Amino acid sequence: MQYRPLGRTKLKVSALCLGTMTWGEQNTQKDAFAQIDRARDAGVNFIDAAEMYPVPPKAETYGETERILGNYLAERGNREDWIIASKVAGPGNWLPHIRDGMTRFTREHLTAALDASLKRLKTDYIDLYQLHWPDRSTNFFGNLGYRHNPDESITPIEDTLEVLDEFVKAGKIRHIGLSNETPWGVSRFLHLAESRGWPRIASIQNPYNLLNRTYEVGMAEISLREQTGLLAYSPLAFGTLTGKYLNGLSPEKGRLTLFSRFSRYTNPQAEQACARYVRLARDHGLDPAQMALAFVTRQPFVTSNIIGATNMDQLNRNLSSINMGLPDGVLEAIAEIHQSQPNPAP
């Protein structure tokens, strides 16, 4: 396993991070415990969760992922061996079951969210506390074009960062991160941290994979120059880059078979590009999933690649990707495909 600095903090996280959003929906607690033990054996020391998980979010399962992780930490008694990340849900009328829809980044709502997460996780602190998506309308979750609304009511970033500073001083969290953010948002958080002496963001958790490399356009430079590395989520584009959905296939337990909400990865352009990447991997004797993961992990702006699995075979293959080097011929072919079909699933 490789280990990389988490921003400018003193923490070093594994280059592969164990994702958790299937725990409590597609995976049982027993499954999750086995996944954590296997990841630990492979050298993983970094786990990413969220109060909203599992996905798709619903009232019946809200918080179950954090509860499962908390049960593991309590049973194993090895909290100090792990760097635990979690996320507070941002605003949205599609989450009425979370604090009765009160998911703004204000003092009241952030305090309620953090205290509940700490209770579910059975821990006194969270190593990396992330804002799951911005408290403003902007282009995230597959929306490329930004449309400005000057009349929108938003929580000032100053107010949010001031509260997070208090959490750090109280020892409830060690570091902060952003997720689904834009260059403007990252720059604003960095400026306020520097000018006010507030906590500096350590990471940015955004989507990044062979079908969606939009992070390279405006965010990669920030990550490298400011040491705010990417925690890449959806590195397999919800499993499409494994090839298991090609040619109209719908595996019974596949996430895209079960949950149609992730259809942005199955548009015709994405399917065509995906088929080319899968064929490229197989032509070179590579596992398509491992090639896709290795491509993400090797990027200089990536701090950690968040892998997820619903069975142990998937997890083992994903973990093994850390040892895969990509030949120059493969990298050149990836560049050619990307140039001809850039970002078909943003």
Instruction: Write out the catalytic residue numbers.
Output: 53
Q: Per the domain annotation, does 53 fall within a domain?
A: yes
Domain that holds residue 40: 3-205
Single out the residue of 73, 170, 91 nearest to residue 135, CA to CA.
91
Single out the residue of 19, 11, 4 nearest to residue 229, CA to CA.
4
Q: Per the domain annotation, does 159 fall within a domain?
A: yes
d(CA 270, CA 337): 12
Q: Per the domain annotation, does 81 fall within a domain?
A: yes
Q: Per the domain annotation, does 184 fall within a domain?
A: yes
| pLDDT at residue 56, as a whole number | 93
| pLDDT at residue 140, as a whole number | 87
Q: Per the domain annotation, does 71 fall within a domain?
A: yes
| pLDDT at residue 7, as a whole number | 98
| pLDDT at residue 258, as a whole number | 64
d(CA 258, CA 246): 16
Q: How many domains does the chain have?
A: 1
Q: Per the domain annotation, does 213 fall within a domain?
A: no
d(CA 334, CA 200): 35
pLDDT in tens, 182-204: 999 999 999 999 999 999 999 99
Q: Per the domain annotation, does 214 fall within a domain?
A: no
Please, is 317 exposed, middle or buried when counting C-beta atoms within 10 Å of its C-beta (0-12, 13-18, 19+)? middle
| pLDDT at residue 130, as a whole number | 98
Cis-peptide, bond into residue 54, ω within 30° of zero: yes
Taking 70 as the pLDDT cut, the residues of the chain under it are: 249-250, 252-253, 257-258, 260-263
CATH number at residue 158: 3.20.20.100
| pLDDT at residue 247, as a whole number | 80
Q: Per the domain annotation, does 52 fall within a domain?
A: yes
| pLDDT at residue 251, as a whole number | 74
d(CA 255, CA 230): 24
Pairing relationship of beta strands 12-14 and 3-5 according to DSSP bridges: antiparallel
Q: What is the separation of C-alpha 153 from the centre of its chain, rounded to a whole number of angstroms?
A: 27
